[in-house]
Amino acid sequence: MRSELSNDLVTVISPKAEKLNQKSHYGRMENEQLELSLIEALYLLDKEKISIFSKDKELSREEMTGIIKDKDLYSKYLVFKDLRNRGYIVKTGFKYGSEFRLYERGKSPGEGHSDYLVNVISENYDLNVLDFSSYVRVAHGVNKKLLMAVVDEEGDITYYNVEWIRP
């Protein structure tokens, strides 16, 4: 499926685009077009589900990866890819101050609530205790579990399940 890169969105204009949204829960439908984030678009490019064009020039995987890296999204892409490959549905968590919302296998947006909020940090990131506390409070306040995804320099990911405990 052909798609078009414009700013920070990739738009798919195809009758098959709705299937990607309805069945596989990628992006969001807007005016009969599927709008994908850069992260989703690179993932679908990797899976050979879409081709991405910018001003009639087809972008290679390396070019799209370069765009992701330039926007400092590569570690988030690695986490997105890992979670999708494990069978989870991954949506934006922007509304909750997180990178992603995560739906358990078998659940999907519109049929229930997400189970997790996912925050992505690099292993060298100095996590402020007040920021960490706010992540935990928000997750607890919206009845979700918090996953901290720590990405090391080799691109390996370690997940930490953080829970609120009352002493």
> Active-site residues: which are they?
103, 113, 144
- How far the first Cα of the chain sits from its last, in Å, is 53
Count CA atoms closer than 13 A to 7's CA, side-chain side. Answer: 2
Q: Are 79 and 100 in contact (CB under 8 A)?
A: yes
Find where tokens 């330039």 sit. 70
Do 99 and 139 meet the contact criterion of CB atoms below 8 Å apart?
no
| Contacts with 129 (C-beta within 8 Å, 6 or more apart), sequence order | none
